[in-house]
Structure 1
Amino acid sequence: MSVDRRPLERRPTPPGRFIQHDILDEHGLTQEQLAQRLRVSRLTVNELVKGKRALTASMALRLGRLTGQSPDYWLALQRAVDLWDARQDPDNQIVEEIEPLQT
């Protein structure tokens, strides 16, 4: 399996945007109603939608059950954002200085 290592020019779409558009807007739900269905606080949903909270494995399971999408799908969305953010962080520039193991 080959991995595309080209840097993305823009930040991947965070899971919260999908929650807003594909769940809340599409199904006419409020954040409070979604929170009740997911058995979490409204604050949790609000922070996910606003991108102030990362999506956890537990939330991926809940969203997977609710939407029929795989929990892996939801985690992949979060992972893409996390990796992009890490690559943009100047503290991680040292990664380029690490010498790979010889195979």
Structure 2
Amino acid sequence: MERRPTPPGRFIQSDILEEYGLTQDQLAQRLRVSRLTVNELVKGKRALTASMALRLGRLTGQSPDYWLALQRAIDLWDAQEEVDNRTIEEIEPLQSHTE
């Protein structure tokens, strides 16, 4: 991938807040979390947790796996940017026991 995947917070902003005309405070109340939690998710300062995926799944009708996949894509992208590829390439793969 050439660019960083879209963070879950952008989907929360556009697909929930803007589409349904909700404020962050209203969304926080519906999700039973703090406004700070929603704000940090939207701004990309907080990772989406499994618990939040369950809440968003219930709210939106989307699978919690959908929400977790968005976060997983970000996590993998960030890790690839941080880890030295030579270090990864130097790791010897395990050989099958049957060989």
TM-score, length of structure 1 as denominator length = 0.89
Structure 2 unmatched runs, 5+? none
User: Which is higher, the Rg of structure 1 or of structure 2?
Assistant: 2
Paired residues in the alignment total 96
CA distance 1:96–1:70, shift in 2 (3 Å): same
Percent identical: 85
Q: Distance in 1 between matches of 2:4 and 2:89?
A: 20
Please show how residues 1-103 of structure 1 align to structure 2 within 5 Å.
8-90=1-83, 93-103=86-96
CA RMSD after TM alignment: 1.2
Q: Kindly tell me: are residues 63 and 74 of structure 1, through their superposed partners in 2, closer, same or farther at Cα, counting changes over 3 Å?
A: same
CA distance in 2, matches of 1:93, 1:80: 22
Dislocated runs of 4+, deviation >2 Å:
90-93
